Amino acid sequence: MKRLALLLALTLTPLAHAQMNMSQNAMPGMNHGTTMNGALDTLKGKSFDRAFLSMMIVHHQGAVDMSKAVLNTVKDAQVKKWTADVIGVQQKEIGEMNAWLKTLGGVDKGAQTGMNAEMKDMMMSLKANKDSDRGFVEGMLPHHASAIDMASLALQKSSDARVLGLSRDIIRTQADEMYAYRQWLIKRGF
């Protein structure tokens, strides 16, 4: 419960976002939290849900693309499983979100613009890392953290049961994955 309260508090405070960016050792070029939640802060109801889903589709596609980029070069069996899991789970969720968007008026192109840039920056950082295993794990930490930020905001603002359920699931799943990623890095001395 304390963890969720902290996550919710971080989504509300721009200064907290800046401090978190500095303390998380975020990837270069990643404007963690500012673009994503800033674009959503003023929206409510159906407009919020439409923008959130539009942004989360791009965000999920970024994770799929990052996973596919290293799938054939990672050596560690656990990392290979994580890349395959990200591809499978997030492609399924992309399909669901696209279907939901049809009922909300379609994709919000404006909401996707900033997210596209952030995903490109993350992909460039991943490709620059010579160790695919480490690069994937380290790259997914800030990627998942930003998804948790967005999902936390959705839990506060959404009026759609589907979005609320997805947001809860994103927070649970990706927080667990972040924990496993950190454990993997610690065991390897990174």
Q: Name the percent of the chain lying above pLDDT 70.
A: 81
Between 145 and 29, the higher pLDDT residue? 145
| Domain at 42-187: CATH code | 1.20.1260.10
**Confidence band, pLDDT 50/70/90 cuts, at residue 114:** confident
Q: Which residue has the tokens 């997914």?
A: 140
CA quadruple 18, 87, 137, 4: dihedral positive or negative?
Answer: positive
pLDDT at 37: 63
Is the confidence at residue 30, as pLDDT, over 90? no
Residue 29 CA to residue 50 CA, distance in Å, equals 26
CB 90 within 8 Å of CB 169: no
29: DSSP letter: T
Q: Between the CA of residue 99 and those of 53, 65, 76, 103, what are the distances in Å?
A: 10, 21, 35, 7
Residue 186 CA to residue 134 CA, distance in Å, equals 11
Q: Mean pLDDT lowest for which of 20-24, 108-112, 134-138, 181-185? A: 20-24
Q: How many beta carbons lie within 10 A of that of residue 168, not counting itself? A: 15
Q: Between the CA of residue 185 and those of 59, 107, 138, what are the distances in Å?
A: 23, 37, 8
Residue (of 81, 78, 37) closest to 59 by Cα position = 37
Structure tokens at 121: 């920056």
pTM of the model: 0.81
pLDDT at 39: 74
- What lies within 8 Å, CB to CB, of 100 at 6+ separation is 53, 160, 162, 163
24: DSSP letter: T
